[in-house]
Amino acid sequence: MTAPVTPAPAARRAFRFTGWHMTMILVAFFGIVIVVNVYMATLASRSFSGVVVDNSYVASQHYNTWLDEAAKEKALGWQVSAVRQADGRVAVSLIGEARPQNAVLGGEAWHPLGQEADRTVSFRKAGDGRWISIDPLPEGRWRLRLKLDGDDAAGHHAVRLQQML
């Protein structure tokens, strides 16, 4: 007698890489690249105008003067910091051994993206080496150039406010 013949298990079909697979890989790859590029471009356009100075050549003519001013400031031994408080006023602190005691602080603030008009900022003395602006600055990014005048010292101090003001 012969044994009944059972059919062999169905052979597994081997995976076949087709043009559709390659198309899907390319679409997914370039889709991710495009999404990331759009995201990065959006972040860049919201945070930086692309203009550091209006005229690079004219700015380069003042470069050595700026370096000399920076060297003079460093020699004074002062550190200047500025922070926007919750009420919008700017608090400035002058830290250092030989800081002037009877100084008057003033300055100007400008919006690096040009969305707000430049402003003159006036300060009142708030203690030893501390000043607070009289008027608040609106929220946003601001650059602040401070001018310290006094009997015992005078100087210009450029301070870039690092936080979003």
Q: Which long-range contacts (CB under 8 A, 24 or more apart) does 33-41 make?
A: none
The domain that holds 154 is classified in CATH as 2.60.40
Is residue 7 one of the residues assigned to a domain?
Answer: no
Query: Taking the alpha carbons of 127, 109, 137, 79 in that order, is the dihedral positive or negative?
Result: negative
pLDDT in tens, 100-116: 767 788 888 887 766 77
**Residue at 126 is within a domain:** yes
How many domains does the chain contain in total?
1
Global pTM exceeds 0.75: no
Whether residue 19 is contained in a domain is answered as no
Q: Containing domain of residue 137, as a range?
A: 77-160
Rounded to the nearest angstrom, the gap between the alpha carbon of residue 81 and the centroid of all alpha carbons in its chain is 16
pLDDT tens-digit series, residues 36-86: 999 999 988 877 766 667 788 888 888 898 888 778 777 777 788 888 898
Could you give the CA distance from residue 144 to residue 121 in angstroms, rounded to a whole number? 9
Report strand pairing: 90-95 vs 130-133. antiparallel
Position 150 in a domain: yes
Query: Is residue 51 in some structural domain?
Result: no
Structure tokens at 52: 């550091």
Of 89, 76, 82, 69, nearest in space to 150 by CA: 76
In a domain, 61, yes or no: no
pLDDT digits (tens, 9 = 90+) for 39-49: 999 988 877 76
Residue 21 falls inside a structural domain: no
In a domain, 50, yes or no: no
Q: Which residue has the higher pLDDT, 98 or 77?
A: 77
The pLDDT value given to residue 13: 82
